[in-house]
Amino acid sequence: MKRFKSLKKHLFLPFIISLLAGGLVCLAALIFNSLVMWIMQLPVEWSYFLGLFSLSCGCFAGGFVLGKQKKREGIKQGLLCGSGLLLICLVLGFVFGDMSFGGFFGKASVCWIAGAVGGVLGVNR
């Protein structure tokens, strides 16, 4: 009979670590992109796309870390991590700004695609 693995050690802890890694990468990319916008005096309209790029970097990094830890099912692991970061992004969007229906699907597709690609690459590396 197989022994059951601890849920805390094998399920929640890697997910929390990957969310923290993805959040830190997302924050670093946001700081870098805002610095680039400030130095180059880019128009304000570019900030949405640079924000999506930062979010995709965070989802990719989180999916990569989770795929590297789990070593299997990279697409599923990446989608889970992307969904977690999307949920955090949505909560912060409702608190600090506004959220539109189209904006949700734009962020969701970016999070899920980048997370899945990161998860697959994390499993295969």
Q: What digits encode the pLDDT tens for the residues 93-120?
A: 888 877 777 788 888 999 999 999 999 9
**Contact criterion met (CB below 8 Å) for 114 and 89:** no
Q: How far is C-alpha 75 from the geometric centre of its chain's CA atoms?
A: 13
Q: What digits encode the pLDDT tens for the residues 10-64?
A: 678 888 999 999 999 999 999 999 999 999 999 999 988 999 999 999 999 999 9
